[in-house]
Every structure is written in C-alpha cells, then in structure tokens.
C-alpha cells in the first residue's frame, strides 16, 4: 500500500525540491537535517479509540479573540486535512498565567509560548489541543518571535495569527480588520490554515521538511511563510497517510470544495491537477 501511495504522488510539476534558502530564511539560520520516513517511525504519535478529538481553543491575553467565523473555517479544514473530529473549545483568558513582554523591535505585546504550553489543559479524549490567538508569541527570551510552538509529549500546541495581519506592529495589540487586508478574509484564511496544519502536523511526530517545498517547511518571516505551499510534499504526506490511512482522492476533493468556497483558486488549481494525476495512477 505504501509503494502504491508513493507511485500516485510522483509529480514533478506539483512537488518542487527545496530551494537553497536565502539570507534570513529558516534554513539559513536553523541547521536542520530533515526527517526521513524511517526516522518518523520512531516519533509517531497516533490518535486512539479514546483519544481522537482535535480541539481548537481560542486564547486571549490583552487582545480580542480570533473571530468565530474564522474558527469555524479552521475547524472545517482541520477535519478534512487530518481526518479527525474537531471541537472548538471555550475561550480562555491566560493573561495572568504566563510571562509577557514588549518586543524591543516591533514594540508590540507578546507572551511566552513555552509557558502557554505548560498551562494548556488537554482533555482525556483529545488527540491534541491547538491554542489559537491574535497575540504575538516568543518561544524563549533570546528569540524575537515564533509563529507557533508545539509540545508533542503533552499533545498540545499554540500558534499566533498576529503577524498575518497588516496592522501588526502599529499598535500594542493586533486587530483583525479583513477589509484592510490585501486579498481580504480569504488571504487570512489561507495563512491561518497553513500555520494550523503545520503545527498540528508536529503533533503527529512530523518534523520540519527540508526535502521539498512543503507545508512543513520552517519559516522565519511572513514572506517566507506566504511563498510556501499550502499542502504536504510526498515525504510528509506519506507520513500522515501511514498514520491516518485516508482516501487520497476523497481528501483532495473535500479540499477543493473548501478552498473554492473561499475563492482561493490557486489551491483549487493545484488540487485539481493532483486529482488528475492520482486518478491516472489507479
């Protein structure tokens, strides 16, 4: 079955080898050797019969919560992407629970993402819990910021949408104003889905990808994150498939419907090409 899956993913047009990183990009600063399939086998985290719910938890500190319509879209896409039932949990204010600071470069409010993970509550039926916030994050005092952070051993992660908004850095806290975004709400949905699936991918034991241009590539800044793919490469898709055993064609078709509903036609076009190739490999 695994060989058959690899055959169906052979597609040099859709999957591009990882380009050499430019100065300031993730791999230019983080020396990562990558994770092949056999290495992944020793890091797998699997959902179980009593541990299969994916929770999305809106977190707040000083800022407004992620809007309900955005959370609904994220919940819908997470269910398609990972093939698990998804629940949106109650909003949680963690302002008094974790250290915070004012970023010396951007002068915005930030919270310690590592401390957030330490304080996250994981229900007994959860495969993982993903905290979502409009507050900027830092992983440790020496770092400027981080888009997201995951703790596989605790089955939780947190990610921030703050730097995906054009008003980031102009005020102490980022405010969601879709009318001010280039591409409107659709662009924000794309960015939010990408970082969500990246961070939850870590919950399965999938490390950063260095082999292809891939959703699981690390990113150091918004431009690098924006230019990266919305989908998994053959190596990382094979890892997720090994755990979840989804129907690839059905998964792609559901993704087409989702991206089309948000008028994100670049993703739709990619998926339709993939569906043609996958069907031809049957």
- Enter the tokens of residue 234: 């053959």
Q: Which residues of the chain have pLDDT under 70?
A: 1-10, 281-282
Largest pairwise CA distance in the chain: 56
What confidence score (pLDDT) does residue 11 get?
74
Write the Ramachandran bin of 226: left for phi over 0, alpha for psi from -120 to 50, otherwise beta. Answer: alpha
What confidence score (pLDDT) does residue 6 get?
52
Alpha carbon distance 122, 40 (integer Å): 24
What pLDDT, in 10s, does the model give residues 178-233?
888 878 899 999 999 999 999 999 999 999 999 999 999 998 888 889 999 999 99
Q: How crowded is the C-beta side of 205, counted as CA atoms within 13 Å?
A: 20
What confidence score (pLDDT) does residue 1 get?
43
Strand partners, 56: 88, 130
Instruction: Please indicate whether residue 199 is annotated as part of the active site.
Output: yes
Catalytic residue among 25, 63, 199, 267: 199
């Amino acid at each position: 079955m695994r060989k058959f899956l690899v055959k169906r993913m052979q597609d040099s047009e859709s999957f591009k080898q990882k380009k050499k990183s430019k100065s300031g990009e993730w791999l230019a600063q983080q020396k990562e050797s990558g994770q092949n399939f056999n290495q992944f086998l020793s890091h797998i985290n699997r959902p179980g019969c009593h541990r299969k719910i994916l929770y999305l938890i809106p977190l707040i500190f000083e800022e407004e919560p992620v809007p309900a319509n955005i959370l609904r879209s994220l919940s819908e896409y997470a269910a398609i992407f990972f093939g698990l039932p998804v629940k949106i949990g109650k909003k949680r204010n963690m302002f008094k629970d974790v250290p915070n600071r004012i970023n010396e470069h951007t002068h915005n409010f930030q919270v310690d993402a590592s401390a957030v993970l330490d304080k996250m509550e994981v229900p007994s039926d959860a495969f993982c819990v993903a905290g979502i916030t409009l507050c900027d994050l830092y992983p440790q005092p020496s770092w400027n910021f981080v888009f997201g952070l995951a703790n596989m051993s605790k089955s939780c992660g947190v990610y921030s949408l703050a730097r995906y908004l054009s008003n980031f850095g102009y005020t102490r806290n980022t405010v969601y104003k879709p009318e001010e975004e280039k591409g409107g709400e659709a662009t924000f949905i794309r960015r939010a889905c990408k970082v969500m699936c990246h961070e939850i991918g870590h919950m399965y034991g999938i490390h950063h990808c260095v082999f292809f241009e891939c959703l699981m590539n690390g990113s150091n800044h918004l431009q690098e994150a924006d230019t990266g793919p919305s989908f998994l490469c053959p190596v990382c898709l094979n890892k997720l498939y090994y755990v979840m055993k989804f129907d690839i064609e059905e998964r792609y078709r559901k993704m087409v419907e989702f991206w089309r509903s948000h008028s994100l036609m670049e993703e739709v076009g990619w998926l339709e090409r993939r569906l043609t190739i996958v069907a031809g490999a049957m």
